Structure 1
Amino acid sequence: MKNLFATWNRISLVNRIIVGIIIGVILALVAPQSLAGISILGTLFISALKAVAPVLVFVLVIAAISSHKSGQQTNMKSILGLYVFATFMAGAVAVIAAKLFPSTLHLKESAQDVAPPSGISEVFNNILMNITTNPVDALLNANYLGILTWAILLGVALRMASDTTKTVISNLSDAVSKIVQWVINLAPIGIIGVVFDAVATSGLKALLDYGHLIIVLVGTMLFLALVVNPIIVFIYTRRNPYPLVFTTLKESGITAFFTRSSAANIPVNMKLCEKLNLDKDTYAVSIPLGATINMGGAAVTISILSLAAAHTLGVEVDIPTAILLMVLSAVSAAGASGVTGGSLLLIPLACSLFGIPTDVAMQVIAVGMIIGVVQDSCETALNSSTDVLFTATAQYAKERKEAK
């Protein structure tokens, strides 16, 4: 048994996840009813990731900032700039795609159990309230804005602490990171449950009526991942961007696709940053920050679904309004939660630009829920993989400048 585990662990994690996907699909197709209990494997895996991620972020950020030496350079300004620019580009590309390939929705379903924000001021108010929340409450509820705020404040306060205290913090950080490695090694088993549940409960039947919309959404996200983002990376680094792009998509995007949560994928991204030999002081902050504000995929979802609603109702969207939608989708996407389906709640806000009533916008949310097994998976894969992509891009750009 020990040799079997050793052999299994020698296989790359991505290959093991692919095996898990295949097994999950086969089991769901062969016996979806009798093997229904298998779905708990996915639930347990995602729960474990979500449980360890807040503690990991809190400890790593404190350790990184408290051990930061005066004069030591980080790339946070560049990374933040990349996050903001890429999210705006995502909103712009999505608006263009929605205008070139308009989608018609079948507005029949309702979504009564969701409470979207009433305006952009409420989005900003929620952000401010999350930042100033109680630290214990932030950890309990995986409020990453609150966790980041308190971790940064404690990290700065502990910069004057003794070396012994900093060593304890560093050791605690290493211990939590070790636990994260154990959880990530269970990913292939968890993916079996996630895939089984998706195929057995949703299948493909519910998606057929929205094939065109799904193609536009996924096509736009692929264009961003394989064309727009590589161009951004090349401009910054002046090197072939695709090896890095494909690495982040393979090792971060695949797990994010199935967990459908940027927050749950934080430990995976931390591990990938370590594998890429990135600066720990930087990625300990940039990865959880990216899971909170780097929401290019959310900007795509908000723009395309709101414009699909406008097209369905025969509402003409002029160029100034389309530009305003680009800005609104990018800004509001940063306020989307880092959990499953967070971007859907912001669709009524975008629809209000076109005078679309709330009851219709709620039906658009319901459509988003129907196609969520594809839409939200692709959105999260794009969001989470670019957290690592842009963190690495900023470091490579810095190294390029220093080499001159």
Structure 2
Amino acid sequence: MAEKRGVSLIWQITIGFVAGILFGRMAAPDAVAYVDPLGKIFMALLSMLIVPLVLSSLVVGVASLGDLKSLGRIGVKTLALYLITTAIAIGIGLALGNLMQPGAGMDIALAKATEAKAAPSLGQVLTNMFPKNAFASMVNANMLQIIVFALFLGVSMTLAGEKGKPALDFFNSLAETMYKMTAIVMKFAPYGVFALIAVTVSKYGAAVLLPFAKVIAAVYIGCILHAVLVYSGMVAVFARKSPLWFFKGIKEASLTAFVTRSSSGTLPVTMECCHNMGVPDKVASFVLPLGATINMDGTALYQGVCALFIAQAFGIPLSLTAQFGILVTATLGSIGTAGVPGAGLIMLTLVTTQAGLPIEGVAMIAGIDAVLDMIRTSLNITGDAAVATVVAKSEGAEL
């Protein structure tokens, strides 16, 4: 949400992006070299955040669901729908990334050569998700293994009851601390983005930026397709209501999310819209706040498009198995990174790290994040409302 005073961070990043283009285009290469360390420092800081942020956030997110035995029908339905729609969103993003090829032809070289690794089999991907040594997984930043360990740890804390509460308190404190650290690092983002884009433009020319229009188009097309096909399809099939009824009922929340770019800030509007559509309070009060925390279909779709964009821009082939790994990582990771300032950027860093892609590409995406954030936030809360509507109907509500 934009701050009342000054320029909001996301627009500061956008200004840094534009300024970096101009500086890289006009300044001499020797002058650009002086700002290069700023970009490298920003990349290092982003990498520093990933492991503790994802671990603590995901543990708290899972454990905060409460007594797993008493979650009942509503909890199971809600979680299943959120995870399934998130996976579908990533699939749409990957499909559009393969179809539109937004990063093709950029030919950005890495400082050190990146060799394509032999693609592991699907069985190996699934087996490698489970860590033999959780601490080794953290040291090596193996994000899939960290996510699986965090899921087990969060569930175990819940089952341990009162004896698990001190451990949960520790991770809750660590998560809040990491959120503050993330906010500090993101303050540096405009300068890091400025430096990285300036170096890129200076080295490869301004034409290297043209594919960003394809990225924006792919994300917007994907979000619209997901809303029209998946969400309205869910409402029509399971809630027995027309898509027009649904989109008309949720339009105020969708527009609010588009303007504010905040799922949490839009939550009161979303709850009011769902109330007006006949969703009972007992369903809305559980499904919608949980959705604002873990349901990130718009962000997930953006991960698929951007991961392929980065791979194509740096000339790194991604096999179907590697793309399946992106789907799994982004689906599970969406639980752990929601609600964090700069969540989309942090989540993209998580996905690119797991896929073996250069995180320099994340800073390139950061420059257009304001435009992408609008549509993906709007899709996020539209998904929350669709799931609430379907769950309410399944519980016998008259919509």
* Fold conserved between structures, TM > 0.5: yes
Q: Verify: 1:85 aligned to 2:93, yes or no.
A: no
Unaligned runs of 5+ in 2: 236-245, 271-284, 331-346
Match runs of 1:362-401 below 5 Å: 374=364, 392-401=381-390
1:79 Cα offset (Å): 1.7
CA–CA distance in structure 2, aligned partners of residues 45 and 384 of structure 1? 25
TM-score by length of 2: 0.59
User: Alignment length, in residue pairs?
Assistant: 337
Match runs of 1:5-404 below 5 Å: 11=4, 15-19=8-12, 21-22=14-15, 26=19, 29=23, 32=32, 38-39=38-39, 42-43=42-43, 45-47=45-47, 49-64=49-64, 67-72=67-72, 73-74=74-75, 75-97=78-100, 105=105, 113-119=113-119, 121=121, 124-163=123-162, 165-186=163-184, 189-203=187-201, 206=204, 208-210=206-208, 213-225=211-223, 227-231=224-228, 232-236=230-234, 238-239=246-247, 240=250, 243-244=253-254, 247=257, 251=261, 295-297=303-305, 301=309, 331=324, 333-334=326-327, 340=349, 374=364, 392-401=381-390, 402=392, 403=397, 404=399
Asked whether the equivalents of residues 58 and 147 of structure 2 are also in contact (C-alpha less than 8 Å), the reply is yes
Q: SS in structure 2 opposite 1:131?
A: coil
CA–CA distance in structure 2, aligned partners of residues 293 and 143 of structure 1? 22
Q: Percent identity?
A: 12
1:327 Cα offset (Å): 7.3
Q: SS in structure 2 opposite 1:59?
A: helix
Asked whether the equivalents of residues 91 and 326 of structure 1 are also in contact (C-alpha less than 8 Å), the reply is no
The 3 A distance-change label for structure 1 pair 176 and 218 is same
1:295 Cα offset (Å): 4.3
CA–CA distance in structure 1, aligned partners of residues 155 and 199 of structure 2? 48
1:78 Cα offset (Å): 0.8
1:132 Cα offset (Å): 3.0
The 3 A distance-change label for structure 1 pair 55 and 222 is same
Letter in 1 for 2:220: L
RMSD (Å) for aligned C-alpha atoms: 5.4
Q: Give 2:336's aligned residue.
A: none
The 3 A distance-change label for structure 1 pair 285 and 104 is closer
Superimposed CA distance per residue, residues 345-378 of structure 1 (whole angstroms, 9 cap, x where no aligned partner): 989xxxxxxxxxxxxxxxxx9xx99987646976
The 3 A distance-change label for structure 1 pair 39 and 22 is same
Letter in 2 for 1:145: L
Asked whether the equivalents of residues 96 and 305 of structure 2 are also in contact (C-alpha less than 8 Å), the reply is no
Superimposed CA distance per residue, residues 250-302 of structure 1 (whole angstroms, 9 cap, x where no aligned partner): 648xxxxxxxxxxxxxxxx9x77989886666676666x99999842157549
Asked whether the equivalents of residues 63 and 173 of structure 1 are also in contact (C-alpha less than 8 Å), the reply is no
Letter in 2 for 1:399: A
The 3 A distance-change label for structure 1 pair 250 and 34 is farther
CA–CA distance in structure 2, aligned partners of residues 217 and 132 of structure 1? 34
The 3 A distance-change label for structure 1 pair 54 and 290 is farther
Asked whether the equivalents of residues 59 and 151 of structure 1 are also in contact (C-alpha less than 8 Å), the reply is yes
CA–CA distance in structure 2, aligned partners of residues 391 and 59 of structure 1? 22
CA–CA distance in structure 2, aligned partners of residues 305 and 39 of structure 1? 18
The 3 A distance-change label for structure 1 pair 117 and 40 is closer
The 3 A distance-change label for structure 1 pair 86 and 188 is closer
Asked whether the equivalents of residues 52 and 180 of structure 1 are also in contact (C-alpha less than 8 Å), the reply is yes
Unaligned runs of 5+ in 1: 1-8, 253-268, 311-324, 348-364
CA–CA distance in structure 2, aligned partners of residues 147 and 332 of structure 1? 14
Asked whether the equivalents of residues 256 and 266 of structure 2 are also in contact (C-alpha less than 8 Å), the reply is no
